[in-house]
Structure 1
Amino acid sequence: MDGRLIYLMGPSGSGKDSLIEAARQPLRSINGEVVRRVITRSAESVGEDAIGVSREEFEQRRDKGDFALSWHAHGLDYGIPVQIDHWLEEGRHVLVNGSRGHLAEALQRYPTLLPVLLTVQDEVLRERLMKRGRESLAEIEARLRRNRLFTAEDPLGDSQIYRLDNSGEIAVTVANLLKLLNVSAEPDRI
């Protein structure tokens, strides 16, 4: 039996990187994998545990077929290594940090993928952004406005996306993520 592709999306500050790291070991215990994206940025950039490459190297990898999925957003190129196809064929669940703007294309290639939108309450997001200290107050308010738009929009237009709240303890969010893989679970949808 093939594994399930878990396609995680969410606005900046929602805690995607924290969730991915916290879910790594629990996913392994149920025959799952977490994918490191390939991104056209320097390896020294702050953020997720990704593989930083030059734009030229990214294009070469894409042209060779090294990516199962790839897209361009916010001035960067993102790639999901083709290794996920092998893991899925082996029956492993695979968690990827996806793009809401690329969801329709991802669904064309992986029609059984599990689309998950990570959400966070505004007050929690504001606190997280203030603690990390990378944005000004005006930038934080702009991110909060984008968060409200992000979570209100339904990119598929038909409520097929699972909503996962990450406003509380990360362990609870991980447990709820794992429940989504259980057929009997009935998570909230957009």
Structure 2
Amino acid sequence: MSGSLIYLMGPSGSGKDSLLDAAREPLAARGCRIARRVITRSAEAVGEDALALSPAQFEAEERAGAFAMSWRANGLAYGIPGQIDAWLAAGEHVLVNGSRGYLAQARQRYPTLLPVLLTVELAVLRQRLLARGRETLAEVEARLARNAQFAGGAAVQDERLHLLDNSGELQRTVDNLLGLIGGHDPCA
């Protein structure tokens, strides 16, 4: 028996990290792991609990086949450790913090993945991006433009893409995520 891959994605500032933190215990209670991403961002940077590597270290790990998936976005490199394949093969269910731009490649590698797109109202997204203070105003506007471009794209029209609104209370989003996953039956 193999496990299921839950592929969470959404724009920067949509609350993916907050959602993952809040859902960690209930997911673990259901036998679902959350994979820790590898990112070429300083370990001191505010954000998700990821393993930070220098660009050179990341490239070396990538060449060595350490990642099940890897991609580039927003000037950074991201990787999902290869150990998820062993977890999935052992029947465990795994949630990864993925990328909207990498979804097609992820589906090729994991055809039965459950794609979940975290959405947020534009005004809320702008406020969150500005409040976190990671990017310049120009970078925030570029992220908002990228999000608007994606929101109108074919991926959102895909009937296999599950939308999860995170504009309101976080606990409601956690409950909706657990319901979506339970309905898909990988972690129920």
- Length-normalised TM-score, structure 2: 0.87
- Length-normalised TM-score, structure 1: 0.86
Structure 1 contact 14–166 (Cα < 8 Å) conserved: yes
Structure 2 contact 118–165 (Cα < 8 Å) conserved: yes
Aligned to 1:69: 69
Aligned to 1:50: 50
Aligned to 1:36: 36
Change (3 A) 1:63 1:156: farther
Aligned to 1:147: 147
Identity rate, percent: 62
Counterpart AA for 1:70: S
Change (3 A) 1:151 1:37: same
For residue 13 of structure 1, give the secondary structure of its aligned residue in structure 2.
Answer: coil
Give the length in aligned residue pairs.
185
Distance in 1 separating the partners of 2:24 and 2:45: 21
Change (3 A) 1:133 1:81: closer
2:25 paired with 1:25: yes
Counterpart AA for 2:90: E
Aligned to 2:3: 3
Distance in 2 separating the partners of 1:113 and 1:143: 26
Q: C-alpha root-mean-square deviation of aligned residues, in Å?
A: 2.2
Distance in 2 separating the partners of 1:36 and 1:150: 25
Higher normalized contact order (CA 8 Å, seq sep 6+, divided by chain length): 2
Counterpart AA for 1:131: A
Distance in 2 separating the partners of 1:17 and 1:8: 10
Change (3 A) 1:133 1:60: closer
Counterpart AA for 1:121: E
Deviations 1:130-163 (A, max 9, x none): 4334456665555444433332323376332110
Distance in 1 separating the partners of 2:93 and 2:160: 19
Counterpart AA for 2:61: R
Change (3 A) 1:78 1:144: closer
- Structure 1: unaligned runs, 5 residues or longer: 186-190
